[in-house]
């Protein structure tokens, strides 16, 4: 057996076998991939992940823990590692209800935010620029300040005339700004899909039936023809996959014995041993004597 074959590792990212010295094992789960594939994966995750934890790229991994900072530093250049650390820190501040950025434009300090025991808004002093602001609405705190909201952002009803341009993801709380486009939103931080108007979960609504009735009816932002075309494409893909599965299933069942026989190494080994024994027997057999 070729020693190079035993050392080859199958990478689930590039779907090819590569030598073991050119692979890397993740410490959190033990999965092994091509080092080059991991470099590309980590750098793309830094650019598109907005500071979210970078986990194992194998969707079937049973222990997809986050990659260590030392691993990320080994798979990405120093400038991207610095970018990831900054985005990770900013994301941590956004997800922590007890922290907030100072609202002053020329200040980047992180302030501790906590309402009083009754849940009412209280003033928060910035430790850097000493700006005092409301812990709830982030507006400057003045005498007899009347906070207009108990949360940083209030979700406007779809029927209201003025619609907020910035809202929070209903799953992870990250701020999302909508300048244009349809009402089906995808959070880049947690990959959660929801309706911009009512914040309802749309992760399983592949046909966008949410916008056919209720308060968000016809508020998707696309024409009716565009929605119908999207549903036709989704239905066509599902029907195509179903047809492929139905057609190929009997063929796979019929061909499975042949496939198993072809890949069965013990069978090939036994056949080879039988051929060798027959050949040795013929060579060792003495020639017939002539009378």
Q: Which of 147, 172, 182, 190 is catalytic?
A: 182
Active-site residue flag, 107? no
**DSSP structure class, residue 201:** B
- Beta-bridge mates of residue 166: 177
Tokens describing residue 3: 């020693």
Q: Would you say the C-alpha torsion 244, 249, 254, 259 has a positive or negative sign?
A: positive
Closest by Cα among 199, 197, 138, 205 to 169: 199
3-state secondary structure of 88: helix
Q: Would you say the C-alpha torsion 241, 242, 246, 249 has a positive or negative sign?
A: positive
Q: Is 290 exposed, middle or buried (0-12, 13-18, 19+ CB in 10 A)?
A: exposed
CB neighbours of residue 167 within 10 Å: 22
Number of C-alpha atoms within 13 angstroms, CB side, residue 183?
Answer: 25
E strand map for 20-163: 23-25, 32-34, 99-101, 110-112, 123-125, 132-134
d(CA 179, CA 54): 28
Contact at 8 Å (CB) between 99 and 85? no
Residues tagged active-site = 182
């Amino acid at each position: 057996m070729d020693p190079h074959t035993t050392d080859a590792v199958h990478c689930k990212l590039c779907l090819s076998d590569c030598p073991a010295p050119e692979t890397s094992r993740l410490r959190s789960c033990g999965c092994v991939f091509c080092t080059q594939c991991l470099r590309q994966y980590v750098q793309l995750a830094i650019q598109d992940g907005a500071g979210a934890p970078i986990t194992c790229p194998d969707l079937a991994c049973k222990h997809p823990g986050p990659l260590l900072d030392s691993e990320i530093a080994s798979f990405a250049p120093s400038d991207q590692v610095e970018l990831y650390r900054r985005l990770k820190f900013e994301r941590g501040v956004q997800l922590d209800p007890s922290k907030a950025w100072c609202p002053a434009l020329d200040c980047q300090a992180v302030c501790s935010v906590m309402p009083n025991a009754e849940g009412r808004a209280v003033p928060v002093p910035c430790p850097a620029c000493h700006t005092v602001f409301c812990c709830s609405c982030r507006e400057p705190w003045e005498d007899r300040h009347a906070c207009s909201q108990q949360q940083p952002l209030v979700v406007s009803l779809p029927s209201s005339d003025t619609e907020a341009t910035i809202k929070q993801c209903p799953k992870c709380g990250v701020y999302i700004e909508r300048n244009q486009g349809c009402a089906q939103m995808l959070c880049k931080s947690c990959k959660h899909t929801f309706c911009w108007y009512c914040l309802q979960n749309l992760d399983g609504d592949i046909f966008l039936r949410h916008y056919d009735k209720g308060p968000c009816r016809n508020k998707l932002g696309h024409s009716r023809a565009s929605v119908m075309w999207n549903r036709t494409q989704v239905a066509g893909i599902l029907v195509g996959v179903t047809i492929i599965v139905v057609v190929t299933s009997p063929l796979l069942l019929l061909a499975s014995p042949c496939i198993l026989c072809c890949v069965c190494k013990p069978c090939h080994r036994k056949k080879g041993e039988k051929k060798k024994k027959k050949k040795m027997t013929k060579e060792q057999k003495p020639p017939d004597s002539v009378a």
